[in-house]
Amino acid sequence: MALNRKIAYINLTTGEIETKPIPLEIRKMFLGGRGLDMYLMYNHIKPGIDPLGPDNVALVSAGLLVGTLASASARTHVAGKSPLTGFVGSTNMGGFFAPEMRWAGFDHLVIKGKAEKPVYLWIHNGEIEIRDGSSIWGKTVQETQEIIREELGDSDVKILTIGIAGENLVRYANVMTELKNAGGRSGMGALLGSKNLKAIAARGTMDIKIAHPSEALEYNRKIIRQITSAKVSQTQGRLGTNFIWGATNTQGLVRVRNFQLNQLEDSDDIEPEKLDEFNIGMTGCFGCQVHCRGKYIIPSGPYAGVYAEGPEYTSIGAWAGEPGCRNPLTILVGNHLVNSYGLDTLETGSMIAWAMELYEEGILTSKDTDGLDLRFGNDEAVIEMVHRIANRKGLGDILAEGPLRAAKKIGKNSIKYSIQVKGMSNLHSDERPTPALALGIATGSRGSDHLRSRPAIDLYHLPEPVLRKIYSQPVPYDGPLSSDYRDYEGKPWQVFWHEMCYEAVDCLGICKYHTTFLGATLPNFEEWSKLLYYNTGLEMSPLDIWTVAERCYNIERLFNIREGLTRKDDWLSDRYFDEPTTVGIPGVRNKTLDREKFKKMIDEYYEHHGWDENGVPRPETLRRLGIDKEPSHML
């Protein structure tokens, strides 16, 4: 059955491995994936530990629907205390690793301690081995996977790995699988690197029995038609996620030259349709019909002939918008390099753009950059800084520490120019004209974030009755809603609703692009209830799934509060309030966020959660959700 996969406790210090079943009671409370990982993190990580010390715990998991007949059920989740922020560390990626791990018999790995020398884990049909990893230490993401497959004699082995950046403990290093499936944000690659754990390989042939196979197949056909008929899915299948850049840059909702502008003008060469000229085909993750991932070969320059996948929307921002570059090759090469090194493309691009503004302000000099001309628009300097960050050379060693630590080392009020929340840089978007999106990044549990609460459909000017239909299920809501993305009213509920939506889907292991993330007609709680029953036999109503999401999100909040989070951490850089936008369409020009209105939004957001004025969950909220006794150490 889909409910009978196990949890494994792996101690890299002692070499001990213990496996256990996951009780049904725990499943009903947390489902799997991100939700159960948050429970395990709160229960297994001691307060105040060093994120890069052996006491941190790395959690690797698959969502409860992964590897079943549910569409796009491919997501892998990795968690631990973040080396970047010191708060919740959590990342989610697609590909094929999580299904393979489930077919090998496991849903969750709890990895403790630190190996004396580099190792990797080998998971196969109910067995787990700790293997010598000396031959793969120092290798790129791609090389590591090739060597392991050759060593195991099986080209179908799926591998989760870190790159050289993770080995060097760059605090925003990724975990990766395949060529570009990236577990970005919060530095989980550095966490694995700190444990001398280079990779996890999985191969399984253990069946997952579907509870109601005929119904599951038929219902999934309906879901597939629902997804593939949506215009947003069809566009993604044609242009990838790059189409989002075309729309947001045209409006003036991106940040350029760090945060000086909100639109990259004269950028025809990097529009999605132009980047599509480099595309040699589209591919996708396990069980997905959209195929939003492009494939390309770098056409010229030092990396000519290199095959890579992507780039995504975020990579255009990281390698074009933020540093003010307009050369498509910079995007293609930058994307390839961060995927090879195992670096977060968002954080890397943001850190380089921040350093560029410091350079132009005179806070950094050519002495600090070892002679590198770090001005905006210098394509060669951008690519060079990727190498320096991954290898911790010169200024790259400072930037590898992330916004807060780097600003402390540089001094000279350099933090003023950093666009970050909780020590995590924002992606390349500019939320000054969009209060709902701004609230989402300010309050994100893992830091500045567009994947945990962003109400992206707020940009669509949907009629109020349509909004009412979406945001009144499965929990009734009769408060204000607005079709204008510049309004403040009703936006806290939208952010809260999307938090629950994305938490739930991360517990199930389904891609967010198959939810009400970018498409108003795409599946959410009603469909997940049926998918869960048909595939696993677990009977949970849409409201039950919402309650699971609420429970899991409150566990994340409790973890952060235990690590020192206060209300002041749910806030934005002063530039959002003090510096108006200057370009873009008329509706987004001359916009700043209103401090007082934003404070009221946070108050309302806290109230929706059942938290007090300081953002602390009220006792009655924890009792209602059944987590007032945590940590309970049930698993």
For residue range 331-345, list pLDDT tens digits in order: 999 999 999 999 999
Domain residues for the domain of 498 are: 435-625
CA distances in angstroms from 218 to 211, 228, 287, 333, 534, listed in the order given: 13, 16, 15, 43, 10
Supply φ then ψ for residue 365, to 5 degrees. -120, 175
Confidence of residue 629 (pLDDT cuts 50, 70, 90): very high
Whether residues 79 and 100 share a domain: the answer is yes
Whether residues 520 and 607 share a domain: the answer is yes
Q: d(Cα 235, Cα 251) in Å, to the nearest integer?
A: 18
For the chain, the average pLDDT equals 97
Classify residue 385: in a domain, yes or no: yes
Whether residues 419 and 287 share a domain: the answer is yes
pLDDT of 408 over the 80 cut = yes
Classify residue 211: in a domain, yes or no: no
List residues bridging with 458 in a β-sheet: none
SS3 144: helix
Query: H or E segment at 626?
Result: none
Q: Note the pLDDT tens digit of each residue in 445-469.
A: 999 989 999 999 999 999 999 999 9
Whether residues 257 and 405 share a domain: the answer is yes
Q: d(Cα 253, Cα 274) in Å, to the nearest integer?
A: 20
Cβ–Cβ < 8 Å for 320, 348:
no
Q: d(Cα 234, Cα 302) in Å, to the nearest integer?
A: 34
Q: d(Cα 174, Cα 625) in Å, to the nearest integer?
A: 33
Whether residues 408 and 467 share a domain: the answer is no
Q: Looking at residue 184, which CATH number applies to its domain? A: 3.60.9.10
One-letter amino acid identity for 430? D
Q: Note the pLDDT tens digit of each residue in 573-627.
A: 999 999 999 999 999 999 999 999 999 999 999 999 999 999 999 999 999 999 9
Q: What is the pLDDT of residue 99?
A: 98
Classify residue 214: in a domain, yes or no: no
List residues bridging with 279 in a β-sheet: 296
pLDDT over 70 percentage in the chain:
100
Distance of alpha carbon 121 from its chain centroid, rounded?
23
One-letter amino acid identity for 340? S
Q: Note the pLDDT tens digit of each residue in 139-167.
A: 999 999 999 999 999 999 999 999 999 99
229 CB-near residues (< 8 Å, 6+ apart) = none
Whether residues 57 and 195 share a domain: the answer is yes
Domain C-terminal end among 390, 425, 460: 425
Whether residues 414 and 466 share a domain: the answer is no
Supply φ then ψ for residue 198, to 5 degrees. -80, -35
Q: Note the pLDDT tens digit of each residue in 212-222.
A: 999 999 999 99
Cis amide prior to 328 (ω within 30 degrees): no
List residues bridging with 200 in a β-sheet: 121, 160
| Helical spans, DSSP H, in 421-483 | 435-443, 464-471
Instruction: Please give the order of strands across the beta sheet that includes 17-21.
Output: 17-21, 6-11, 106-112, 58-62, 76-81, 88-93
Classify residue 227: in a domain, yes or no: no
Q: Note the pLDDT tens digit of each residue in 361-376.
A: 999 999 999 999 999 9
One-letter amino acid identity for 480? P
Classify residue 224: in a domain, yes or no: no
Whether residues 450 and 592 share a domain: the answer is yes
Classify residue 320: in a domain, yes or no: yes
Classify residue 345: in a domain, yes or no: yes
Q: Looking at residue 491, which CATH number applies to its domain? A: 1.10.599.10
- Residue 89 tokens, joined: 């560390």
Whether residues 621 and 512 share a domain: the answer is yes
Whether residues 417 and 544 share a domain: the answer is no
Whether residues 164 and 260 share a domain: the answer is no
- Residue 613 tokens, joined: 């004025």
Q: Note the pLDDT tens digit of each residue in 8-36.
A: 999 999 999 999 999 999 999 999 999 99
pLDDT of 2 over the 90 cut = no
Q: What is the pLDDT of residue 551?
A: 98
Average the pLDDT over 426-452 and give the result: 96
SS3 181: strand
Domain C-terminal end among 183, 203, 223: 203
Q: Note the pLDDT tens digit of each residue in 88-103.
A: 999 999 999 999 999 9
Structural domain count of the chain = 3
Classify residue 117: in a domain, yes or no: yes
Q: Note the pLDDT tens digit of each residue in 509-566.
A: 999 999 999 999 999 999 999 999 999 999 999 999 999 999 999 999 999 999 999 9
Q: Note the pLDDT tens digit of each residue in 274-289.
A: 999 999 999 999 999 9
Task: Tell me the Ramachandran region of residue 617: left when phi exceeds 0, alpha when psi lies from -120 to 50, beta otherwise.
Answer: beta
Q: d(Cα 483, Cα 607) in Å, to the nearest integer?
A: 22
Q: Looking at residue 255, which CATH number applies to its domain? A: 1.10.569.10
469 CB-near residues (< 8 Å, 6+ apart) = none
SS3 592: coil
pLDDT of 1 over the 90 cut = no
Whether residues 166 and 314 share a domain: the answer is no
Whose structure tokens read 């009629």?
Answer: 463
Count of all residues that appear for the chain in the document: 635
Domain C-terminal end among 184, 203, 222: 203
189 CB-near residues (< 8 Å, 6+ apart) = 162, 163, 165, 166, 170, 173, 174, 175, 176, 183, 342, 343
